[in-house]
């Protein structure tokens, strides 16, 4: 359980992030996004602000913030440029997995450097033939003395090039039944002989951050890098980490939706038709009211899921609900914002078309929304057995 951050501290932290976005991110976001440029020059400031150590315990050099504050930070960053939140998104999944399940040696070795951003983490989970079907990964890790030999490929990996440590899921017992009992999670660090970054993926949105294929060809990893030191626990470890990932993706969706709403409100008060601002037309007012209500509801669901995570209680259903609802709302609000803008919203001169292209990532990422629905239904039926 994480200690609740006071409202004053939350506001101070969020205001610092707002200033960073306004001063350093807003001036470059559109250009970097359109040209798919990685924002190297923003990393030192992100390190100084402690953004790589948001939820890492203070004893390991992090800020030890609760997940509600974590969500607010991701929301604020995503209002400015959603891609930027990707640099610390899967980083915090790795740090959470190590903080929760790692050995004391692993925590002391990894977390202080992760908190400063010296080590920048990622999640090596998805494979070309095993996206939502996580248990059917084909990457294997075979024990050889004091090392594991890893072979396989991972796909759609954020921070695949610029990250230097991964939470790597691999099968240590390919014949296990059920399959998830044969999956283990490793700390995989770069550079390692036999490892290389494969193709770089050219994406519709979420541009400016590297998304890559990872290739593992007889890579040797020390046995000390098996998270928790016990084989067969990786599936549960990573699924728990994904609960935090779903909170951050849901918070990103709220941030992008809020940015789209803000843009629609501003434009509607400037654009005139029939002798008055379009904000005075009832058709536009109805759109703005629906958009604002949906964004507010999504935000409350995200904070509820974060509070449940902070309490130490199981929150996979709440996190899935928040991710499902917020991401779908983000897609709807981005589309409505474009409708309010009319033809101007379809042009790259304004950021509205970026919000529209970024929105699908949250619907697909960290588990598709169809998977979210199945998980939610499963939990509902478990809780209401007759």
193 neighbors 166 (Cβ within 8 angstroms): no
What whole-number distance in Å separates Cα of residue 168 and Cα of residue 367?
Answer: 17
Residues 99 and 362: their CA atoms lie apart, in Å, by 25
Whether 323 contacts 372, CB under 8 Å = yes
Q: Which of 243, 366, 370, 382 is catalytic?
A: 366
Residue 350, preceding bond cis, omega within 30 degrees? no
The Cα–Cα gap between 12 and 73 comes to: 11
C-alpha distances in angstroms, 105 versus 52, 102, 146?
A: 20, 8, 16
List, as one string, the DSSP characters of 277-341: EGGGSHHHHHHHHHHHHHHHHHHHHHHHHHHHHHHTS--HHHHHHHHHHHHHHHHHHHHHHHHHH
What count of Cα atoms within 13 Å lies in the side-chain half-sphere of residue 55? 33
Cα–Cα distance between 39 and 59 in angstroms, integer? 30
At which residue do the structure tokens 């016990």 appear? 230
Q: Determine whether 366 is an active site residue.
A: yes
d(CA 64, CA 54): 6
> Hey, which residues are catalytic here?
366
């Amino acid at each position: 359980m994480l200690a609740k951050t006071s409202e004053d501290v939350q506001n101070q932290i969020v205001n610092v992030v707002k200033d960073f976005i306004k001063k350093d991110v807003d001036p470059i976001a559109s250009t970097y996004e359109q040209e798919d440029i990685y924002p190297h020059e923003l990393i030192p400031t992100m390190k100084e602000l402690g953004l790589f150590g948001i939820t890492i315990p203070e004893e390991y050099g992090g800020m030890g913030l609760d997940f509600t504050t974590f969500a607010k930070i991701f929301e604020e960053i995503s209002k400015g440029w959603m891609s930027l939140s990707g640099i610390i998104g899967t980083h915090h999944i790795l740090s959470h997995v190590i903080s929760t399940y790692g050995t004391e040696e692993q925590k002391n070795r990894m977390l202080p450097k992760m908190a400063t951003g010296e080590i920048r983490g990622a999640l090596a989970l998805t494979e070309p033939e095993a996206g939502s079907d996580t248990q059917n990964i084909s990457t294997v890790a075979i024990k050889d003395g004091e090392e594991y030999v890893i072979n396989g490929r991972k796909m759609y990996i954020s921070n695949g090039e610029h990250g230097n440590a991964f939470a790597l899921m691999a099968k240590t017992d390919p014949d296990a039944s059920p399959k998830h009992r044969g999956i283990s999670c490793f700390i995989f660090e770069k550079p390692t002989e036999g490892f290389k970054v494969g193709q770089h993926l050219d994406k519709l949105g979420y541009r400016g951050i590297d998304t890559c294929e990872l290739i593992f060809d007889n890579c040797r990893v020390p046995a000390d890098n098996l998270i928790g030191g016990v084989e067969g626990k990786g599936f549960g470890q990573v699924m728990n980490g994904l609960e935090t990932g779903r909170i951050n993706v849901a918070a990103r969706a709220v941030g992008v939706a809020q940015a789209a709403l803000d843009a629609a409100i501003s434009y509607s008060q400037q654009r005139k038709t029939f002798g008055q601002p379009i904000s005075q037309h009832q058709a536009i007012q109805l759109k703005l009211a629906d958009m604002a209500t949906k964004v507010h509801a999504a935000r409350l669901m995200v904070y509820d899921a974060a509070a449940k995570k902070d309490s130490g209680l199981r929150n996979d259903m709440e996190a899935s609900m928040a991710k499902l609802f917020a991401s779908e709302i983000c897609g709807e609000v981005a589309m409505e914002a474009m409708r309010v803008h009319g033809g101007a919203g379809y042009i790259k001169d304004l950021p509205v078309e970026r919000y529209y292209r970024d929105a699908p990532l949250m619907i697909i990422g960290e588990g598709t929304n169809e998977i979210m629905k199945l998980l939610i239904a499963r939990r509902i039926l478990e809780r209401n057995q007759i």
